[in-house]
Amino acid sequence: MKDLVSIMTLKQLSRISGFSVSTVSKALNNKLDISSDTRKLIKDIAKANNYRPNTYAVGLRKKKTQAVAVIIPQVNNSLYSWFLFNLEKLAYSNGYKIVLFQSLESPSKEKECIENSNDGSVDGVILLSKTEPLIENYNHPIEFIKITENQSQEQLEKYCINSFNALLKNIA
């Protein structure tokens, strides 16, 4: 079994390089007030230590996470897993990642999932449900897809594409 790679933080990179956290951050973000020699040195150290920016911290700072919450009734239903599969492909091709919630077909659980995704960790929500939720004081756009008893995969795919595109327009 391979060893897990430890995650290098900006603070650790600062200690290793001998520069302040602010200088390291500016160098990694190509700020012009940092000399090219310092930028190169810090970037070389970062590369040697497999430094990767914390995408959640960057997203919170920029107020854009490139993540979408998807709430589905349950993952072990073939129609919902098919929907999730297609939505994830669509999200990925647009530079987004999916944060998955299961509502277990419970309106109160749907509301809880929506509330849990209201913490700045996602840019918007796509909710797949049989009942339209009561949404109050939510910071991001929500696209609702109503599930019907005799819905085909083709209909769901169309709703998936339309909802994701509408969400992207509302996020921008």
Share of the chain above pLDDT 70, in %: 92
Amino acid at 41: L
Given a contact cutoff of 8 angstroms between Cβ atoms, the answer to whether 59 and 29 are in contact is no
Buried-exposed string 65-83: b where 16+ CB fall within 10 A, e elsewhere: bbbbbbbbbeeeeeebeeb
Q: What is the pLDDT of residues 94-130, one digit of tens each?
A: 999 999 999 998 988 998 998 888 888 888 899 988 8
Domain 63-171 fold is: Rossmann fold (3.40.50)
Q: pLDDT (tens digit, 9 = 90+) per residue, 11-58?
A: 999 999 999 999 998 999 899 999 999 999 999 999 898 888 877 677
Residues 6+ apart with CB under 8 A from 53: 10, 28
Residue range(s) of every CATH 3.40.50.2300 domain in the chain? 63-171
